[in-house]
Structure 1
């Protein structure tokens, strides 16, 4: 037996926030947001709503109807409820999983794949059998709503996957991770202040490292690009996702985009998109699926799995 995804779930808070609402605060032209970025809605957490609340809702969604009890919780987030303790500990208590190991991972928008790698590694070391992996962020809480360059881009949400034993040949085949600290200031949230980003530099790293990290994971899995059924990419923005897909030669049916209705949900982006893809067109047993993300740090991660 190996380890694979046995269920997925997501949670997006509140009603969709349209471009007109974002434009009113930021001064951005609603038409520019739609045409230049490709977004027309996103979800905003309430001012006092926490990453824990979103993570728990996504976890409950993933666990509904699944006869699996998590024996490990890993939460990827850059907006923890508190610096200490880990948000995962609050999630553990809310889910009624007393005694289950729980910790957080911060690798920005690549965080979910880092968390997935940690959980998978712990199953290989026999420290866990059924990890629950969650990506959750209230990133709009650290974005200046008056900044026309960043405010339209981001949304809040959470996505979760429940892992469990699957037959050999299925499940997680390979994970590849990367980081480059010399690029750390390309995207950052200071101790006091709002999120700041050098958009041109970040886009350059995405276009460079996205294809490289995907190919490295495929090589590790012994698979080829043309064998992939679907690729779930971090939803930085729809235009960038489409550019990346075209750059590596993948079609729209292989690389779904959901950022137009979710915004960039940071650590939640990949699992939210994975769950939305499964709802829109359920994965079939045997599908070869890749997850790819590039985030602040700069960081990058890719995973290749055979759906069961």
Structure 2
């Protein structure tokens, strides 16, 4: 018997604290107009002191669980996509598993930066297709503000914190039609945090392990790569561009989003955009945007959705979903 997976519930959470462009104007050499023109961002949410990635993940997860009508005990797989885990180990997924009172099922993290949620969704879908899992919790959660140099105007204006979650259930008909994952480590130096546990732990401990980005090079690569993956996804499913009802992209900046929409020949009214209010929340951005569009009624059952992301590594990927 062939098994498939379907998204049956979504949830999102954003920290209470909002940092506007006007606030950033006071601390770095930038302006509201400069940020809006280049990124489309007007504000971002920042986790409070003592508020951690697992806290954000838990709130998003509980909202997705409630929306899906399941019980925590029904979940038999937990995957968290994050670049900002609270501990070296246990994984954020294991910490969350304990908070939800779930015991025994596999729980693990995936690190693919801004493509992390698509990677996690793909892995969960593979578990479903083997028949070994019936109900999965998939989350993208980040406290990205903790790895930002707030004196670097090229990066501090871009990122925010948040979490988005989905519940997947095994189904007899395909909800997730296909996923497509890629990476190329030759481009690592263009978007990275160059320090980690085995490479100068003192930098991590002292809070000097920050995001470094070659912005123009990343932009060019993202636009080219996301254009290719649109073609790959459509070809794999023998679909035309006009078959896509909604584009739910990684919320990096409005120019990359607009370029992907142009590749699809899709009007911007059919593109879910939250970058203006959320900023770039890395692995959380796609599920957060999806949750917004589901809850405000834009996305309805039967719609065909293309989710796509691009992140440090470089990593990139897509998921085509029948809602």
TM-score normalised to structure 1 length: 0.96
Corresponding residue of 1:19: 21
Q: Is the contact made by 1:155 and 1:262 (CA closer than 8 Å) also made in structure 2? A: yes
Q: How does 1:47-62 map to 2 (within 5 A)?
A: 47-62=49-64
Q: How does 1:200-279 map to 2 (within 5 A)?
A: 200-279=216-295
**Alpha-carbon distance between aligned partners in 1 of 2:40 and 2:67, rounded to the nearest angstrom:** 35
Q: Is the contact made by 2:10 and 2:68 (CA closer than 8 Å) also made in structure 1? A: no
Corresponding residue of 1:184: 188
In the alignment, structure 2 segments of 5+ residues that lack a partner are 196-202, 204-208
Q: Give the superposition deviation at 1:213.
A: 1.3
Q: Give the superposition deviation at 1:49.
A: 1.7
Corresponding residue of 2:206: none
Instruction: Verify: 1:94 aligned to 2:110, yes or no.
Output: no
**Alpha-carbon distance between aligned partners in 1 of 2:152 and 2:49, rounded to the nearest angstrom:** 18
Q: Give the superposition deviation at 1:17.
A: 1.6
Counterpart selection for 1:74 from 71, 76, 79: 79
Q: Give the superposition deviation at 1:294.
A: 0.7
Q: Is the contact made by 1:77 and 1:135 (CA closer than 8 Å) also made in structure 2? A: yes
Q: Is the contact made by 2:10 and 2:67 (CA closer than 8 Å) also made in structure 1? A: no
What is the CA deviation profile of residues 80-108 of structure 1, one whole-angstrom value per residue up to 9, with x for unaligned ones?
00111111000101111122210000001
Counterpart selection for 2:139 from 118, 134, 139: 134
**Alpha-carbon distance between aligned partners in 2 of 1:48 and 1:27, rounded to the nearest angstrom:** 29
SS at match of 2:318: strand
**Alpha-carbon distance between aligned partners in 2 of 1:165 and 1:125, rounded to the nearest angstrom:** 10
SS at match of 2:140: strand
Q: Give the superposition deviation at 1:261.
A: 0.2
Q: Give the superposition deviation at 1:10.
A: 0.3
Instruction: Verify: 1:30 aligned to 2:44, yes or no.
Output: no
SS at match of 2:260: helix
In the alignment, structure 1 segments of 5+ residues that lack a partner are none
Corresponding residue of 1:286: 302
SS at match of 1:290: strand
Q: Is the contact made by 1:47 and 1:141 (CA closer than 8 Å) also made in structure 2? A: no
**Alpha-carbon distance between aligned partners in 1 of 2:93 and 2:112, rounded to the nearest angstrom:** 15
Instruction: Verify: 1:296 aligned to 2:312, yes or no.
Output: yes
Q: Give the superposition deviation at 1:212.
A: 1.2
SS at match of 1:243: helix
